[in-house]
Amino acid sequence: MQTETPNAAQPRAATHRTAASDAPDITATSWAMVGGLGFVWGATFLFIAIALEGITPFWLAAARIGFAALLTLVVWRVWGGSLWPTAQRSWPALISVSLLSSAVPFLLLSWGQQHVTSAFAGVSMAAVALIVLPLAHVFVPGERMHLRRVLGFLIGFAGVVLLIGGQAFDSTGAALEGAGRAACLGAACCYAVSSIVMRRLPPIDPIGLSAATLLIGAGFVIPLAWAVEGPPPLPDTKTLWVLLVLGLIPTAGANLLRVLVIRSAGPVFMSLVNYQVPMWSVLLGVLVLGEAAPASLLLALALILCGVFLSQWGALLRLFGKA
């Protein structure tokens, strides 16, 4: 890897990150990226359901991360291939971010969702926002908790629970249901902690960071998938196309957007995505699959949007030039 030689990639990298001591920079672009991530990850459930018809869970995770890693690596090398714009390095933190942002939570969710309801998995992902709040308050300068922010996140979480419904806490009767729920909540904790650590990394090229996290994650997931589920299966053509879509858009592309949002707007703002994902998942199920709309849909959406606007009221005022 080129680490210290100046090249054209370095000035561009500096425009896409902030040091951990900087205050969050929430712009119209930040809102667009978070909105796009919510939509993409909300639609991902449709593709995962199709892919699981032709491939096992661990190899699904391995295929997503592996393809996304190769694609992002190519883009990174074309971009210049630098990682650290300066001589400052933090490899242990980078490795922990890589494992906690994709590899470990992908595996925990793949295993956990075999034993819990999909509704519980959705609620556990929404809990990421609530886990991030106290962590950011302690470890990230400029991300202090205050009453309006806490109320906003609680209202948004209540909207998610209402949207998903009481079945979120129904029992599946599976022998390993308790362990499955712990795995889903563990995945939520992984996402929250990785956001905090990623924000605190020293100056780093965003495409390099995205590539490194996926490459390290692939190096962890692929051998584990082989050990647990045996050699990779040969999927049919439809499954291969779905895997390519999953690797390209919700993994490679979305991972880069996630890096850019966390490094600029901060982990608390990024966590708003977790309220959007179940919202988009339900809406797309109604619009695309013709599923019945929940009776509480409009009220739940109102609560989620109210929570988002309340928690980010100061950023919205600054965005529109009133603060």
Distance CA 60, CA 45 (A): 13
| Mean of pLDDT values over 301-320 | 78
Q: Are 42 and 281 spatial neighbours (Cβ–Cβ below 8 Å)?
A: yes
Assess whether pLDDT exceeds 60 at residue 191: yes
**CB neighbours of residue 175 within 10 Å:** 9
Percent of the chain residues topping a pLDDT of 90: 15
Both tokens of 320, joined, read: 């529109």
Label residue 5 by pLDDT band (50, 70, 90).
very low
The torsion angles phi and psi of 152, rounded to 5 degrees, stand at -60, -45
Contact 165, 314 (CB under 8 A): no
**305 falls in which pLDDT band (50, 70, 90)?**
confident
pLDDT at 10: 41
pLDDT tens digits along 78-124: 877 777 766 567 788 888 888 898 888 878 887 887 787 766 777 78
Output the CA–CA distances (angstroms, integers) from residue 263 to 17, 210, 244, 266, in the order listed: 5, 11, 27, 6
SS (H, E, C) 226-269: HHHHCCCCCCCHHHHHHHHHHHHHHHHHHHHHHHHHHHHHCHHH
Selection from 121, 127, 119, 93 nearest residue 108 by Cα: 121
The pair of three-digit structure tokens given for residue 77, joined into one six-digit string = 């090398």
Is the pLDDT at 184 greater than 80? The verdict is yes
**In degrees rounded to 5, what are phi and psi of residue 26?**
-95, 115
- Check whether 265 has a pLDDT greater than 90: no
Average pLDDT over the chain reads 81
Question: CA triplet 316, 160, 53: central angle to 5 degrees?
Answer: 120
Task: Show the beta-strand stretches assigned E in the chain.
Answer: none
